Amino acid sequence: MTEVVIAGIGQTRVGEFWDLSLRSLGVRAIRAAIKDSGGLQPQALYAGNMLAANLSRQAHVGTLLADFSGLAGIEAEALEAAGASGAAALRQGYLAVASGLVDVALVVGVEKYTDLIGPGVEAALATTTDSDFEAIHGLTPAAQAALLMRRYQHEFGLPADGLAGFVLTAHANGAGNPNAMYRKAITLEAYQKAEMVSDPLNLFDLAPNADGAAALILTRRDRLPRDFPHPVVQVAASASVSDTLGLHNRPEPLWFAAAQASVEQALKKAGLSREQIDLFEYYDAYSIYAALSLEAAGFAARGQGWKLAAEGESGLQGKIPCATMGGLKARGNPGGATGVYQAVEATLQLRGQAGANQIPDARCALIQALGGPASTAVTHVLKRAD
Amino acid sequence: MEIPRHWRLKQQRYGLVGEVCPHCQVKVFPPRDVCPNCGGEARTPYTFSGRGEVYSYTTIYEAPAGFEDKAPYTVALVKLEEGPLVTAQLTDLGDKPVEIGMPVEMVTRRLRQDGDDRSILIYGYKFRPVMN
Ligand SMILES: [Zn+2]
């Protein structure tokens, strides 16, 4: 199959941007990515977005972004897979270029939370659960994570502050990312004192929902400009797997089966073993998801994922560096844009452009975005191609 | 307003009516007409007993729209005695601390209010501690 490379990356800062709209965020990331690619002109746009129809009363996001980027005339569609929307858009762009049907694809993820404030945001997020059998009972995505966290404590003897390691690591890494929402390390004491959102899940166990947009230009290697200024990063594998939508329909809720299967497929397609992975951008929308994702990906045994963070093995100098630019926790969680941010950040690492957070000689990155509690899991392997 | 939708779900909401697979006898909730165990067609209605135990639970402080007046409230995954897990609120808790493994039974209560002041009230299943 055709070798698909990431020719350009772009991202806005993540935060609360009252003065920026859905479209202006998306356009900024798109223009930055096109510029970074040396001016490649895309023939197709795939947008990842989760909630614009709810939050901004705006559907039809693909065409909106193509239009306002000055790209009207090209193919443009949006993909929605809850928190995995951006990763699904990346996969779509990958498939389009790999098939040979599209030479240059633009992938953009965008989420605009702050068009709405208050309980409406939680209600919008709850539409990603089973509306008839979960959301109707007042369940929210944060509450789903809390249910898993409580059960994990019960089954595996997780201490009350056992997940703090994920949060501390993420915030420490966020300090080195100029685009992160939170750029300050936090203390264990602050974690222990944080107020409950959905107990036992506290405010720090939860990544902040925030505005942001990120974009990628994908092409075939032979289409790169002759004077392409960056080390070449290849999309070495892409895998997307679904599970039951409702958490209650799983035989074993504490096992992220779709996350496991998508990692397995991606590693196999890339021809890599876990030992060759230099960094893992996991989906830490909730700290318990970080633990469950590490277990599903095979970096830790069942019930042991939390110990990797507690023992410092998920830090920049650890055995398997995770959330290297702050993760969802400190960079911020821009919903449907998240999967594209992960790809942008992993590309920075593989190009050697990650600044203070650079993993020395990083060559292979595993990135994974989840929709719901791994009701969808989309995993990519990015690889330095030289 | 979503009256037809809530009307359509009344057997599930009021009666905890799911399905039983005629091929492998697995009990299914919510109904999906396709057995998640064997993949066969499963359209035989089955009324669950409404008894089960708490598999996990959480108290929600930041409620979504439609539930603000109830916050904080407790949502659980309840393991029904016939097998499936179901998501539902716990109610009538009094001072009783919730625990994993606690026996509970189904009751019918108001779930939420749909829309603005003149809107419909939606009723459905919740679970309460089993009275001894
Ligand atoms: Zn069956």
Q: What is the pLDDT of residues A172-195, one digit of tens each?
A: 999 999 999 999 999 999 999 999
Model pLDDT, residue B131: 79
Helix (H) or strand (E) holding B14: helix B10-15
The CATH number of B3-129 is 2.40.50.840
Q: B86: CA distance to ligand 1 center in Å?
A: 19
What the block records as the tokens of A210 is 């925030």
Q: Which two tokens stand for residue A256?
A: 């992220």
Interface check for B65 against chain A (CB to CB < 8 A): the answer is: yes
- The predicted model scores a pTM of 0.97
Least confident stretch, A252-266, A287-301, B2-16, B33-47: B2-16
pLDDT band of A4, cuts 50, 70, 90: very high
From chain A, pick out residues whose CB is under 8 angstroms from the CB of B55: 151, 253
Is pLDDT at A344 greater than 90 in this prediction? yes
How many of the other CB atoms lie within 10 Å of CB of A323? 33
CB pair distance less than 8 Å for B64 and A135: yes
Q: Is B75 within 8 Å of A137 when comparing Cβ atoms? A: yes
Dump pLDDT digits (tens) for A137-154: 999 999 999 999 999 999
Q: With CB atoms and an 8 Å threshold, state whether A126 touches B100.
A: no
Residue B6: per-residue pLDDT: 81
Chain A: give the shortest CA distance to residue B98, in Å: 12
Pairwise CB contact (< 8 Å): B122 & A244: no
- In chain A, the percentage of residues whose pLDDT exceeds 90 is 98
Contact yes or no for A136 and B122 at CB 8 A: yes
In degrees and rounded to multiples of 5, residue B88 shows phi and psi of: -160, 160
Q: What is the pLDDT of residues A350-374, one digit of tens each?
A: 999 999 999 999 999 999 999 999 9
Centre of ligand 1 from the C-alpha of residue B46, in Å: 14
- Which string of b and e fits A20-31 if b means at least 16 CB within 10 Å? bebbebbbbbbe
pLDDT at position B1 is 54
**Domains of chain A and CATH, by start:** 5-117+209-223 (3.40.47.10), 123-208+237-384 (3.40.47.10)
How many Å apart are CA A199 and CA A30, to the nearest integer? 39
Question: Out of A16-20, A140-144, A225-229, which region has the weakest mean confidence (pLDDT)?
Answer: A225-229
The reported pLDDT for the residue numbered A222 is 93
Distance of CA A74 to the CA centre of its chain: 26
Residue B118: per-residue pLDDT: 56
Residue B89 is encoded by which pair of tokens? Answer: 């609120």
Residue A244 contacts B, CB cutoff 8 Å:
yes
C-alpha B4 – ligand 1 centre gap (Å): 30
Q: Show residues of chain B in contact with A125, CB under 8 Å.
A: 64
Per-residue model confidence as pLDDT tens digits over B12-71 = 999 999 999 999 999 999 999 999 999 999 999 999 999 999 999 999 998 999 998 889
Contact: A138, B64; criterion CB under 8 Å: yes
Confidence of residue A386 (pLDDT cuts 50, 70, 90): confident
Q: What is the model's pLDDT at position B120?
A: 74
Mean pLDDT along residues A222-251: 96
Indicate the pLDDT class of residue B114, thresholds 50, 70 and 90.
low
Could you report the per-residue pLDDT of A43-100, keeping only the tens digit for each? 999 999 999 999 999 999 999 999 999 999 999 999 999 999 999 999 999 999 999 9
- Which one is predicted more confidently, B1 or B75? B75
Average pLDDT over residues A321-331: 98
Contact B80, B48 (CB under 8 A): yes
Search chain A and give the residue with CA nearest B127. Answer: A137
pLDDT at residue B116 in the model: 56
Q: Where are the domains of chain B?
A: 3-129
pLDDT at A156 over 60: yes
| Average pLDDT along chain A | 97
- Chain A residues touching B5 at Cβ < 8 A: 132
Q: Categorize the per-residue pLDDT at B117 as very low, low, confident or very high, splitting at 50, 70 and 90.
A: low
